[in-house]
Amino acid sequence: MNKKARGSILLLITSLIWGTAFVTQKSGMSYIGPFTFNCIRMLIGAIVLLPFLKLGKQPDMDSLLPDERRRRHRMMIRGSLSCGIFIFLGTTLQQIGLIYTTAGKAGFITALYVVIVPLSGIFMHKKIRPTLWLCVALAVIGLYLLCVKTGFSIQPGDLLVIIGAFAFAMQIHAVDYYSPKLNPLMLSCMQFLICGIISLPFMLILEQPSIGPIMSCWPQIVYTGALSCGVAYTLQIIGQRNTDPTVASLLMSLESVFAAISGALFLSERMTGKELIGCVLMFTAIILAQLPPLNELKARLGKEE
């Protein structure tokens, strides 16, 4: 098997893990609160990544001068805090939202970050290609069909997941900024650790968890912590090394499809015809948002020939 095919398979597995994790996240809410669930699974994710940290080690660290090393360490602290806070906001809102909405809908709404990321780039003085405005229109219509009930009301769970998608978009911007400058696996490990630490006081004060309920949903916690946080992120890093960025994004956006399928299979969730049309429109927007401009695509095809 060549490197490109292997990379694509790893990214497909990544999207499968992330998509099915919505089921375990939702079912876990039957036993413990969202802060307890997030705190434990994030700490597990950080622990799982520890053996892989050397894979992302920057080769020039040993040759850096002391001042540059200290600068890198300060940057790691800033990056870890930024990513950790945003991932805390995103996962917490998503986790609370899952109490009130379905895993399938949450998967599609969360995937909106793919459109939000380039849109929010406007405030960072990044150019926005015209196709993206079509994606926004499709996503808004799809979101309306998926979430808005009669009387223009949005269910509380759906609204929380929508706000969470914006937090995930900010986390992606933070990763995009810090990851090229730092050890990406260390950054990932630290963001999970910080997210878990921030969740801890909320867990103790608001939920006062006990061992019994935690042990009752241990499989769900381990799946989302070890696999969704730890393994899936590592597979993403490895898979993207030999995969075209556009192809990688398309494969990972299948997370929303796997969320809907797994919700139907394991939680007996059903969507109405209106909601299904909304999912199709949102998925179309996600795909179009990640396709390269036409002139760039033609240039790539010309090089391959």
**DSSP for 118-169?**
HHHGGGGT----THHHHHHHHHHHHHHHHHB-TTS-B-HHHHHHHHHHHHHH
Q: Hey, what are 259's tokens?
A: 């969320």
Query: Which pLDDT score, from 0 to 100, does residue 84 have?
Result: 92
Confirm if 169 and 117 have CB atoms less than 8 A apart. yes
Query: CA 94 → CA 98, 108, 157, 237, distances in Å?
Result: 6, 12, 8, 24
CA 295, chain centre distance (Å): 29
CA 204, chain centre distance (Å): 26
Q: Say which range, 124-128, 141-145, 186-190, 295-299, has the weakest mean pLDDT.
A: 295-299
Band of residue 112 on the pLDDT scale cut at 50, 70, 90? confident
The DSSP string of 42-60 is: HHHHHHHHGGGGGGG--TT
Query: Which pLDDT score, from 0 to 100, does residue 34 have?
Result: 94
Which residue did the predictor score with more confidence, 79 or 124? 79
Q: Letter for the amino acid at 131?
A: T
Q: CA–CA separation, 162 vs 178, rounded Å?
A: 25
- pTM given for the model: 0.81
Confirm if 21 and 225 have CB atoms less than 8 A apart. no
Q: Letter for the amino acid at 92?
A: T
Q: CA–CA separation, 166 vs 120, rounded Å?
A: 9
Does pLDDT of 301 surpass 60? no
Does pLDDT of 97 surpass 90? yes
From the list 31, 98, 27, 34, the residue with the least C-alpha distance to 266 is: 27
Which residue did the predictor score with more confidence, 182 or 18? 18
Query: In b/e form, how buried is each residue of 284-300, taking b as 16+ CB within 10 angstroms?
Result: ebbbbbbebeeeeeeee
Does pLDDT of 242 surpass 90? no
The mean pLDDT value of the chain amounts to 83
Band of residue 247 on the pLDDT scale cut at 50, 70, 90? low
Which residue did the predictor score with more confidence, 192 or 282? 192
Confirm if 248 and 240 have CB atoms less than 8 A apart. yes
Q: Hey, what are 184's tokens?
A: 């990406």
Does pLDDT of 245 surpass 90? no
Q: CA–CA separation, 279 vs 231, rounded Å?
A: 27
User: Exposed, middle or buried, 243 (CB in 10 Å: 0-12/13-18/19+)?
Assistant: buried
Tokens 């229109």 found at:
137
Which residue did the predictor score with more confidence, 75 or 298? 75
Q: What is the pLDDT of residues 154-194, one digit of tens each?
A: 788 989 999 998 998 888 888 878 877 778 788 889 999 99
Helix (H, G, I), strand (E, B) or coil at 99: coil
Query: Which pLDDT score, from 0 to 100, does residue 151 have?
Result: 63
User: Exposed, middle or buried, 29 (CB in 10 Å: 0-12/13-18/19+)?
Assistant: middle
Q: CA–CA separation, 59 vs 195, rounded Å?
A: 28
